[in-house]
Structure 1
Amino acid sequence: MNILFLDIDGVLNSRQWHSSENCKILEITVKRFFDPACVEYLNKIVNETETKVVISSSWRILRSLQNLQDLFKSIGFTGKIFGKTEDLSIFEPDTPNLRGVEIQNWIKDNQKHFKTPIKYVIIDDENEFFSHQEQFFFQTNPDIGLDTTITEKIITFFK
């Protein structure tokens, strides 16, 4: 089972996107927060590797799973948001590698639902993970977001 733990800011948008004319013409809509090119890279990963997406971004905190699915559909994501990690920041705000803990807990809690072991990647622009997770971590540059190089590396990793 392929799982992709997805951050949003710095991954599906970037400083470059936010300063572009294409972003500015969208005014104040949710689409302004998603670079269409980055969304297409995500679609490519999901379509070529049959990967399920789990949101690990702070965007998950105030949104239901259904709301996240609707949001991603509205921006052109062709896959499905499969789940979201639990937010532990309210219970353990000073925990080092907090996102790593949240991902580790999700895998532990959900492995029993799959017939095959979970093979996963983490896409994030910040490294808040354990050393044993580094082999699964693909860091984006927040200036450009998800790009062709990282997309191809992830596809290769899953195949």
Structure 2
Amino acid sequence: MILFLDFDGVLHPEPCYDKQSFFCHLPRLENVLRDFPKVRVVISSTWRETRSLSEIQFFFSADISSRIIGMTPSWRDFPDLLEVVGYQRQTEVEAWLRGSEEPWISWLAIDDKAFLFKPFLPNLVKTNSLVGFDDDSELRLRQKLLAVGI
């Protein structure tokens, strides 16, 4: 199972004017990931555009950072795929999957911007941008992970 992870509006509220609030929901997400050790993480956040994978991994606890296996490419590099998929973030997910060794692997995405994905996509755990990964989001993620038998 791959979890495609956004940051802004997920790991902290968006907008987030207080830098001390950055990643305020990271401990909650890491606890979920510890309960599902087979889940690997791919960063889909725009933070990937200005930081390397190792810089991104630094934000996470050591046991979780080792499970962050990559970052999605930009949809701009896949105009033909965007034309087929029609949604930017989902195009990035599909492009990453197609370039992986397991393009058929099951996946979920945590994101606050549903308009970047196909409507009613069952793979999406949508968060409230102004809140982030709260109790409700955690419950929905856990339910989806349990439903796929992880």
Q: TM-score, normalised by structure 1?
A: 0.75
CA–CA separation in structure 1 for the residues paired with 2:14 and 2:78: 31
* CA apart distance, 1:33: 2.2
* Counterpart AA for 1:41: R
Matched, 1:142 2:142: no
1:67 aligned residue: 55
CA–CA separation in structure 1 for the residues paired with 2:90 and 2:14: 25
Structure 1's 88 and 44: CA in aligned 2 closer, same or farther, altered over 3 A? same
> Which digits, 9 at most, give the CA deviation of each residue in 1:118-158, with x for residues without a partner?
22111111011124x71000110011100111112211211
Percent identity over paired residues: 30
2:64 aligned residue: 79
CA–CA separation in structure 1 for the residues paired with 2:62 and 2:88: 27
1:3 aligned residue: 2
1:129 aligned residue: 117
* CA apart distance, 1:67: 1.3
* CA apart distance, 1:88: 2.6
Alignment of 1:106-121 (within 5 A): 106-112=96-102, 117-121=104-108
2:31 aligned residue: 44
CA–CA separation in structure 2 for the residues paired with 1:63 and 1:111: 24
Of the three residues 34, 46, 64, the one matched with 1:58 is 46
Gap regions ≥5 residues in structure 1: 27-31
Q: TM-score, normalised by structure 2?
A: 0.79
The residue matched to 1:53 in structure 2 has which SS?
A: strand
1:34 aligned residue: 23
CA–CA separation in structure 1 for the residues paired with 2:112 and 2:96: 20
Gap regions ≥5 residues in structure 2: none
Once superposed, what is the RMSD of the aligned Cα atoms?
2.5
* CA apart distance, 1:15: 4.9
* CA apart distance, 1:112: 3.2
* CA apart distance, 1:107: 1.4
> Which digits, 9 at most, give the CA deviation of each residue in 1:6-45, with x for residues without a partner?
11100011158x47xxx47x4xxxxx4221xx11221122
Structure 1's 90 and 33: CA in aligned 2 closer, same or farther, altered over 3 A? farther
Contact 1:48–1:155 (CA under 8 A) maintained in structure 2: no
- Aligned pair count reads 138
Alignment of 1:17-32 (within 5 A): 18=16, 23=18, 26=20, 32=21
